[in-house]
Homo-oligomer: A and B are copies of this chain.
């Protein structure tokens, strides 16, 4: 039985806390600044940390805050951190070297992770014990067998190692670009008249335009080089298809559609 602290009991942190309580025999602690969240968390059996010195007694601390808030939290509180400390930031290149340095100077072990799961709602009240069921876990620093086993218990079924740069390069495409496209899509003025004219494709296409603008503007800007590159590729592919339409080039158009179809079939 170990002591696990979750810093930030929002959607992601709350889900970790609920899952560890449900599926492991560890003691789960939570640190949050919101009084309502702390009250709700207590009702779920999460032990609320009021004095940061308690963090020193933890075997594992997982920081589940927005990227720059994680950086800020570690920068201010490294003295309280000990044993293993993880953070779940959706961008790594900007944070990893900074926290790594602090961890080497102040005796804690830093392991950066990114759980690939989410919902279009926020806060502890939206968190779910099964949010991580069948999810993939990207990790930057090696996880040991015990840690892998712990994450498997709460639902993760895939583990992928990546450098901070590789992580950010892939996440730009697999996650951030989806949110960019979804946002750009609904800004078309026809959106509000869709009712009756739409089916599942529009609903799925625009699902992730429901986002917290504070979190996602931060994620986008911290990864802007890769993201701009992916937006440019998207625009180029759209221009190509548009030219085929303009030129009535049915053969080129068919070839592009078939190519996409073939790629997608290999993806899933």
Within 8 A of B (CB), among A205-257: 205-211, 213-214, 216-217, 220-221, 224, 227-228, 230-235, 237-239, 241-242, 245-246, 248, 250, 253-257
Contact with B along A62-73 (1 / 0, CB 8 A): 000000000000
- B217→A257 contact, CB < 8 A: yes
Indicate if A95 sits at the interface (CB-CB under 8 A).
no
Determine if A27 is an interface residue (Cβ-Cβ < 8 Å). no
Residue of B at shortest CB range from A188? B233
Minimum CB–CB distance for A102 against chain B, Å: 26
Contact indicator A204/B202 (Cβ below 8 Å) = no
A116 within 8 A of B: yes
State the Cβ distance, A162 to closest chain B Cβ, in Å. 8
Q: Which of A167, A180, A201, A261 has the most CB of B within 10 A?
A: A201
Residue of B nearest to A227 (CB): B245
Taking a contact as CB atoms closer than 8 A, the residue among B188, B195, B196, B248 that contacts A173 in the complex is B188
Chain B: CB-nearest residue to A159: B196
Measured CA separation A268–B221 after assembly (Å): 28
Q: How far is the CB of A206 from chain B (nearest CB, A)?
A: 6
Contact B188 A230 (CB under 8 A): yes
Contact (Cβ within 8 A) B246 A224: yes
Q: A: which residues have CB within 8 A of B?
A: 116-118, 135-136, 138, 158-160, 162, 167, 169-171, 173-175, 177-188, 190-211, 213-214, 216-217, 220-221, 224, 227-228, 230-235, 237-239, 241-242, 245-246, 248, 250, 253-261, 263-268
Closest 5 CB pairs of A and B: A160-B196, A184-B237, A183-B260, A213-B257, A174-B198
